[in-house]
């Protein structure tokens, strides 16, 4: 699949933005918490590149993939609960300490708000991790809604969390755009009927971002903001 040609997204009323890999570089936090957990299990530390390839499908998937480096599927499940509990304890202790905000994220959020667009953050990170992290990084005030991977029975790539935002904002999916960094975000948006833009610098499970079905790849959140408008133009099918 070739990279999609970028187009203006107009007649948009709200934007749903992913967290890890889109707004925040959280892989260093993952690495610290995971390797502290692995040390408790007597396992060798993993590199940040290895861990980054495992990020994006929720905490349970992350821990299973981390364990599968050393164990077969049966042993992975045997160690899973202990590893998950250990990881969550360590992650809560350092949540945000090693995280950085990607360039032009604040500027992008400011630009989206200036255009009168309503903002929601939908992440597969557990809500108990997501909310304190957004507060710590100073991003929480931008968002009317924040939903985590455990806020509903289903998480991205299932469209339900995005459809819930549409319902809460009383907007049809065609008037909501999503911004993310992975196939999870794009698949959820497509299934929900939302438009979607993808940033190239995040965590796409070790796969090429060029293969993701989206309305365009944008270099930064500010670049995305420049392509999103509340105005109605001929670019929109109604």
Predicted confidence at residue 237, as pLDDT, reads 40
> What is the number of domains present in the chain?
2
Predicted confidence at residue 238, as pLDDT, reads 36
In three-state secondary structure terms, 17 is strand
Say if residue 125 is in the same domain as residue 88: no
What is the distance between the alpha carbons of residues 142 and 110, in angstroms, rounded to a whole number? 8
What is the distance between the alpha carbons of residues 94 and 110, in angstroms, rounded to a whole number? 28
CATH number of the domain where residue 161 is located: 3.40.50.1000
Listed residues 68, 94, 120: the one ending a domain: 94
**16 pairs with which residues across the strands?**
120, 178
Which is it for strands 24-25 and 14-17: parallel, antiparallel or unpaired?
A: unpaired
Instruction: For residue 18, indicate whether it is catalytic.
Output: yes
**228 pairs with which residues across the strands?**
9
Listed residues 94, 114, 139: the one ending a domain: 94
Residue 186 lies in a domain: yes
**25 pairs with which residues across the strands?**
100
Closest by alpha carbon to 122, among 101, 151, 97, 99? 151
Q: What own/partner pairs with CB < 8 Å and gap ≥ 24 does 168-171 have?
A: 168/120, 169/13, 169/14, 169/118, 169/120, 169/144, 169/145, 171/13, 171/14
Model's pTM, two decimal places?
0.90
Of the listed 18, 29, 181, 185, which one is catalytic?
18
pLDDT along the chain (238 residues), means of 10: 67 97 96 97 96 86 95 96 97 97 98 97 95 98 97 96 98 98 95 97 82 94 96 52
Listed residues 46, 71, 94: the one ending a domain: 94
Structural domain boundaries, residue 127 = 14-25+100-227
Predicted confidence at residue 168, as pLDDT, reads 98
């Amino acid at each position: 699949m070739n990279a999609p040609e970028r187009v203006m997204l107009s007649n948009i009323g709200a934007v749903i933005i992913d967290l890890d890999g889109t707004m925040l570089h959280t892989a260093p936090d993952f690495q610290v918490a995971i390797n502290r957990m692995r040390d408790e299990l007597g396992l060798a530390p993993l590199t940040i590149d290895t861990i980054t390839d495992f990020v994006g499908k929720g905490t349970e998937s992350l821990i299973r993939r981390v364990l599968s480096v050393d164990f077969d599927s049966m042993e992975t499940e045997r160690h899973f609960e202990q590893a998950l509990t250990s990881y969550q304890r360590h992650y809560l202790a350092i949540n945000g300490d090693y995280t950085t905000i990607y360039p032009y994220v604040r500027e992008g959020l400011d630009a989206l708000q200036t255009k009168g667009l309503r903002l929601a953050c939908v992440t597969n990170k557990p809500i108990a991790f997501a909310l304190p992290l957004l507060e710590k990084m100073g991003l929480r005030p931008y968002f009317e809604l924040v939903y985590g991977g455990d806020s509903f029975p289903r998480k991205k790539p299932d469209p339900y969390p995005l459809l819930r935002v549409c319902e809460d904002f009383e907007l049809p999916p065609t008037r909501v755009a999503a911004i993310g960094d992975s196939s999870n975000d794009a698949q959820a948006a497509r299934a929900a009927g939302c438009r979607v833009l993808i940033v190239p610098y995040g965590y796409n499970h070790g796969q090429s971002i060029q293969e993701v079905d989206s309305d365009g790849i944008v270099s930064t959140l500010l670049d995305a903001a420049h392509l999103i408008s509340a105005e109605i133009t001929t670019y929109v099918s109604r």
